[in-house]
Amino acid sequence: MQSYAELFDKRGAAYDFAMHRYPDARQAEFAQLLQLADIQPGMRVGDIPAGGGYLKAYLPSGAIWEGHEPCASFTNHGTGQSASANRPLLPLPWDDDELDVVVSLAGLHHLEDKRELFTEIARVLKPGARFILSDVGEGSAAARFLDGFVGDHNSTGHDGRYLGERTFEELRAAGWHIASSQQQNFTWDFMDREGMGDFAYHLFDICKSTPRAAADAIERELGIVNLPDGRIGMNWSLLTIACVKPERHSTTR
C-alpha cells in the first residue's frame, strides 16, 4: 500500500483542481462533520490532513483554522506555523494541550496504521476536547466504488484501509472516549450529470477512463437522486466518529 504522501504527491493537484472547480459539491459532507464538532468563535481547529484547506470556508465566523498537510501538491495550506506542506504527517506541529478541536475528513483511509496519529491528536488537544473522524466505512458502497472502479482507472490504484472495528480498538487504545458513531448518508451535488462526471474524473484522477464513464459508474454503483432545485445528487456516505479526550489524559511521544 502506498502512503498518503506518495499517493497525493502524484494526484493531489488533480484533486485540488476538482475541489476548486466545484467548491460547493461536498457541502453536505462538510456540514455533517462540523455539526458534531460544535466549534465556537475563538476556537483553534486542527484539520488533519488538510488537503487544500477546503474545510476552512465552512468554519463558523471567528474560528481559527490550522491545517496540517504533508503534500505540496495541494494549495492553500494556511499561513505561519500551520503551513505544513513538505513536512511529514507525524509528529504533529503543535504543543501539548494546544488545540480546541481536531477534525479529520476522508483522508485517513490512506493510512495503514492509524495508532500513532490517534495518540498524537490526543497529545495536542486540550483535555475534554473533541476529535471528529469522518471517513469511508468498511463494506460500504463508497469503499467498493473506490477500490473497484476508481482503483482500476486512476493513476495509483486504490486500496483503502477503511474505518471499522479495528478503528474503534485503536482509538480506545490511544485513550479516547468514543461519544458517538454513525453512518452518515448524504449527496455530493451538481448542476447536471456532466458536472458530476467531470468532478469525479479529476477528484479521483480517473486518467484511464473518461468523465462520462465515471458518471456511468457512479449511477450504477452508488446511485443518483434528482434534487428539488433541478440539480442532481451523487449518493455518498461516511462513518463519522465523535471522540472526547478525557479530562485527565497522559500520552507518550
196 within domain boundaries: no
More confident call, 89 vs 189: 189
CATH code of the domain containing 91: 3.40.50.150
Residue 114 falls inside a structural domain: yes
Q: Are 109 and 239 in contact (CB under 8 A)?
A: no
Residue 227 lies in a domain: no
What DSSP assignment string belongs to the chain?
Answer: ---HHHHHHHHHHHHHHHHHHSTTTTHHHHHHHHHHH---TT-EEEESS-TTTGGGGGSPTT-EEEE----TTS----SGGG--TTS-SSS-SS-TT-EEEEEEES-GGG-S--HHHHHHHHHHEEEEEEEEEEEPBTT-HHHHHIIIIIHHHSSS------BSHHHHHHHHHTT-EEEEEEEEEEEEEESSHHHHHHHHHHHTT-TTS-HHHHHHHHHHHT-EEE-TTS-EEEEEEEEEEEEE--SS-----
pLDDT computed for residue 170 by the predictor: 97
pLDDT tier, 79 (very low <50, low <70, confident <90, very high otherwise): very low
Higher pLDDT, 225 or 86: 225
pLDDT digits (tens, 9 = 90+) for 91-100: 999 999 999 9
pLDDT single digits (tens) 200-237: 999 999 999 999 999 999 999 999 999 999 999 999 99
In this structure, is residue 195 part of a structural domain? no
Proportion of the chain above pLDDT 90, given as a percent: 83
- Tell me the residue range of the domain where 139 lies: 4-148+157-190+237-244
Residue 69 lies in a domain: yes
Cα–Cα dist 196/153, whole Å: 17
Tens of pLDDT along 15-73?
Answer: 999 999 999 999 999 999 999 999 999 999 999 999 999 999 999 999 999 999 988 88
Instruction: Note the pLDDT of residue 85.
Output: 47
199 domain-assigned: no
Q: What is the mean pLDDT of residues 168-185?
A: 97
pTM across the whole model: 0.92
Query: Do the domain assignments include residue 253?
Result: no
Residue 123 lies in a domain: yes
Report which of residues 248 and 79 the model is more confident about. 248
pLDDT of 72: 82
Residue 181 burial (CB count, 10 A): 16
Total domains in the fold of the chain: 1
